[in-house]
Amino acid sequence: MTSADTPYDKGSEVRGIFEKIAGYYDRMNFVMTLGRHAQWCREVAARVAPAEGGQLVDLATGTGVIALEMARRYPDATVTGVDFSAEMLRRAKSKPGADAVCWRQADAMSLPFEDESFDGITQGYLLRNVADLDGVLREQFRVLKPGGRIAILETCPPSGLMKPVMRWGIRFVVPLLGQIVARDRKSYTYLESSTLAFASPEHVAGVLRGIGFRHVKWRKKFFGTNVILWATKPR
């Protein structure tokens, strides 16, 4: 709890959580998605679909699953993995194939890159963890080249007939798994609450269009609790 005269710094809180959970992040993603997480990361890498070669960046790269998949899928491209967590990056750098990626510690809200630096941008579970959704997507628009594509993997609040069941599962099962698998219920209580409070794909798509992205599409996954969105910056 912060006092009225103490600004709340969501970035610092989130950074602390991800520093803490880095050691079991991959394991928990596997368990919480019943093994589907790696498949979704492969789809995100495929959706960015750059021209031969080029510059690609994976934001909120975490342990580098999407960045490493892009390096494998697009061997002629230069792939950069960016995260604000030093411990996440340390884990990513220890994985097989990590030498094929340029790893960079940076904040997605203020990227240390020139305008129109990248042919493609990917990200996994970044948007729900930032205080300014519009701002972080505008920053991506800035560093993306005209004609380039972004591909986003994100959680989304359940909807439809399964909504009550899935909300119950997210609210109670996710923290319980955090306790059993990672012995860290508190961190996964935050991840549960950030999922339920996050915007719908329709809202995110509207923000993307408002910024200037075109051809915005999405596909829900896992009973509507995860989503992949993709969009293009006009030439």
Residue numbers belonging to the annotated binding site: 63, 83, 107-108
Binding residues for S-adenosyl-L-methionine: 63, 83, 107-108
| Continuous segment of H or E residues that includes residue 223 | none
Sheet holding 78-83, edge to edge: 101-105, 78-83, 55-59, 118-124, 144-155, 226-232, 214-221
Contact 46, 113 (CB under 8 A): no
Q: What number of helices (H) and strands (E) belong to the chain?
A: 10, 7
- Enter the tokens of residue 223: 């009973």
Q: Which of 148, 146, 145, 126 is nearest to 137 (CA)?
A: 126
Residues facing 56 on adjacent strands: 79, 120
Q: What are the φ/ψ torsions at residue 29 (nearest 5 degrees)?
A: -60, -40
Bridge-based pairing state of the strands 144-155 and 101-105: unpaired
